[in-house]
């Protein structure tokens, strides 16, 4: 059977044209990635611990009312944000009823004092009565003894002896009665003394309450928002205002127990962590450097079991008007905890991170090679490399974005 091949050949060529019968293009290899490299800097640098912290006023006093009454006066010095001195008057609570109470207490003291004087005078009278009764008894006893002797000699009648004996018993009863009255008078003296003591204590309390109507500043500092106005009724415990002293400021921050032990060793080998011996630097948000300088003054003795950290506190002078710390600021705190001798440093921008860890790229035989590294502290824009590099490593510092391990690179120093 004859087969017409021309249409089939044409069809195949048509398909070939559709599928592309052009000659394949030559593969153009991408040029090496341009990078900048640098060898590590070797030098001795301080080891810093840097943590976030928050400032707190060293002196801060909440001013409360201690008596119930109407606010009668608020001096101009109590205006918000003004500086006050300890003892300055902040508020005056209406005093009329407290003055009356003091006067009444003074009258009670005077009355109790008079009653005590009367009781003491009665005791003296009764004691004189006892002395007189004893004298009478002594006379009657001598007479009784004389008559008893005469009676034995039959020199007197029995009736005369009996009369002397009765007199003796009467004088003895007089002593007993006078002694009982004296004891009763002394008891009244004790009662009068107790009444006087109570009256005096009541007077002291009333005078205290009167003094509390003048509300004074407990510390030097700046007045915050005033919470009451003239004419307001306040009661014991009501908040009136708050005074904050900014002359010294604390910064609270947390570190791991490991770092605290380092601080203790550096502070004193014999006595760990002496307050005010370990320098601390601080900067606020936006500060170019750590411009505040103070000292650690407290370390919490108990590790927080939830976080595994310890609370530390540093104290800073805050009297320089050109740089000022407000309580409640979030700050960055830096503590020097030692030094790295001959430390290996590279620019911080050379550091990369992924799920496998921290690494850098180095150039070896014109290729980028990944090197996992262990980081130490930071110093002046650079990072200490504890392990993973040598002093001759050519570390990629610019052009990292497009690199992969094994990539061809065109490196410039």
Q: Which of 204, 237, 270 is the last residue of a domain?
A: 237
What is the share, in percent, of the chain residues with pLDDT greater than 90?
A: 37
Residues 144 and 233 in one domain: no
- Residue 278 to residue 197: CA distance in whole angstroms: 55
Q: Looking at the domain assignment, is residue 2 inside a domain? A: no
Could you tell me the pLDDT band of residue 5, with boundaries at 50, 70 and 90?
A: very low
Does residue 350 surpass a pLDDT of 60?
yes
Which whole number is the average pLDDT over 341-365?
89
pLDDT score recorded for residue 199:
95
| Mean pLDDT, residues 38-58 taken together | 90
Rounded Cα distance, 383 and 234, in Å: 60
- Residue pair 148/161 in contact by the 8 Å Cβ criterion: yes
* pLDDT reading at 28 higher than 90: no
**Confidence tier at 103 by pLDDT (50, 70, 90):** very high
pLDDT bin (cut points 50, 70, 90) of residue 200 is very high
Look at 250-254, 274-278, 319-323 and tell me which has the smallest mean pLDDT.
Answer: 274-278
Query: Do the domain assignments include residue 312?
Result: yes
What are the angstrom distances between the C-alpha of 90 and each of 64, 72, 73, 189, 222? Answer: 11, 11, 9, 45, 12
Pair type for strands 409-412 and 33-38: parallel
Question: 406, 31 in Cβ contact below 8 A?
Answer: no
Q: What phi, psi does 349 have (nearest 5°)?
A: -70, -10
Residue in this structure with the two tokens 């003491």, named with its chain if needed: 120
Q: Which of 175, 204, 237 is the last residue of a domain?
A: 237
Residue whose entry in the numeric block shows the structure tokens 């050519």: 394
Percent of the chain predicted with pLDDT > 70: 87
How many residues are recorded in the chain?
Answer: 413
Q: Out of 106-115, 341-350, 401-410, which region has the weakest mean confidence (pLDDT)?
A: 401-410
Q: Are residues 230 and 306 in the same domain?
A: no
Tell whether 32 is covered by a domain: no
Nearest to 328 by CA among 364, 359, 284, 298: 284
Based on the fold, state whether residues 190 and 220 are members of the same structural domain.
no
CATH number where 219 lies: 2.40.50.100
Same domain, yes or no: 44 and 83: no
Average pLDDT for residues 330-336, to the nearest whole number? 92
Does residue 380 lie within any of the structural domains? Answer: yes
- Domain limits at 222? 66-90+213-237
Cα–Cα separations (whole angstroms), residue 79 to 85, 87, 137, 312, 326? 13, 16, 81, 35, 19
- For the chain, what is the domain count? 3
CA dist 386 and 37 (Å) reads 19
Comparing 166 with 340, which gets the higher pLDDT? 166
Question: With 60 as the cut, is the pLDDT of residue 134 above it?
Answer: yes
Same domain, 194 and 118: yes
Could you tell me if 407 and 269 lie in one domain? Answer: yes
Neighbours of 395 (CB within 10 A): 23
| pLDDT for the residue 320 | 87
* pTM of the entire predicted model: 0.61
Q: Could you tell me if 109 and 231 lie in one domain?
A: no
Final residue of a structural domain among 237, 271, 301: 237
Residue-level pLDDT at 71: 95
| Residue bearing the bigger pLDDT, 280 or 150 | 280
Q: What is the CATH number of the domain that holds 277?
A: 2.40.30.170
315 in Cβ contact with 297 (< 8 Å) = yes
**pLDDT of residue 10 exceeding 50:** no
pLDDT (average), residues 316-338: 88
Q: Higher model confidence: residue 342 or residue 194?
A: 194
> Under a CB-based contact definition with an 8 Å cutoff, are residues 264 and 273 in contact?
yes
Average pLDDT, the chain: 85
């Amino acid at each position: 059977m004859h087969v017409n091949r021309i249409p089939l050949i044409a069809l195949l060529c048509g398909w070939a044209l559709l599928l592309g019968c052009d000659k394949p293009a030559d593969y153009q290899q991408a040029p090496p990635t341009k990078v900048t490299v640098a060898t590590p800097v070797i030098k001795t640098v301080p080891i810093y611990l840097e943590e976030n912290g928050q400032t707190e006023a060293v002196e801060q006093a909440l001013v409360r009312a201690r008596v119930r009454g109407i606010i009668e006066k608020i001096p101009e010095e109590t205006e918000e944000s003004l500086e006050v001195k300890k003892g300055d008057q902040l508020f005056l609570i209406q005093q009329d009823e407290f003055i009356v109470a003091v006067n009444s207490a003074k009258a009670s003291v005077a009355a109790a004092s008079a009653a005590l004087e009367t009781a003491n005078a009665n005791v003296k009278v009764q004691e004189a009565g006892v002395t007189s009764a004893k004298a009478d008894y002594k006379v009657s006893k001598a007479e009784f003894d004389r008559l008893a002797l005469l009676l034995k000699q039959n020199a007197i009648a029995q009736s005369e002896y009996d009369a002397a004996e009765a007199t003796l018993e009467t004088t003895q009863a007089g002593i007993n009665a006078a002694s009982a009255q004296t004891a009763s008078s002394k008891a009244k003296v004790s009662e009068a003394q107790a009444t006087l003591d109570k009256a005096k204590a009541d007077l002291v309390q009333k005078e205290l309450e009167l003094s509390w109507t003048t509300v004074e500043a407990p510390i030097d500092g700046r007045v915050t928002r005033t919470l009451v106005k003239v004419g307001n009724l306040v009661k014991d415990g009501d908040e009136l205002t708050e005074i904050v002293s900014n002359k010294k400021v604390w910064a609270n921050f947390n570190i791991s127990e490991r770092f605290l032990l380092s601080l203790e060793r550096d502070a004193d080998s014999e006595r760990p962590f002496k307050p005010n011996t370990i320098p601390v630097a601080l900067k606020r948000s936006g500060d170019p450097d750590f411009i505040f300088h103070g000292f650690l003054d407290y370390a919490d003795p108990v590790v927080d079991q939830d976080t595994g950290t310890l609370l530390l506190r540093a104290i800073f002078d805050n009297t320089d008007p050109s740089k000022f710390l407000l309580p409640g600021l979030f700050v960055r705190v830096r503590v020097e905890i030692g030094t790295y001798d001959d430390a290996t440093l590279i620019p911080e921008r050379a550091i990369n991170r992924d799920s496998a860890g921290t690494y850098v790229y180095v150039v070896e035989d014109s290729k980028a090679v990944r090197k996992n590294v262990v980081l130490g502290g930071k110093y002046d824009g650079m990072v200490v490399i504890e392990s993973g590099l040598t002093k001759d490593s050519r570390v990629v510092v610019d052009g990292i974005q497009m690199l992969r391990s094994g990539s061809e690179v065109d490196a410039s120093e």
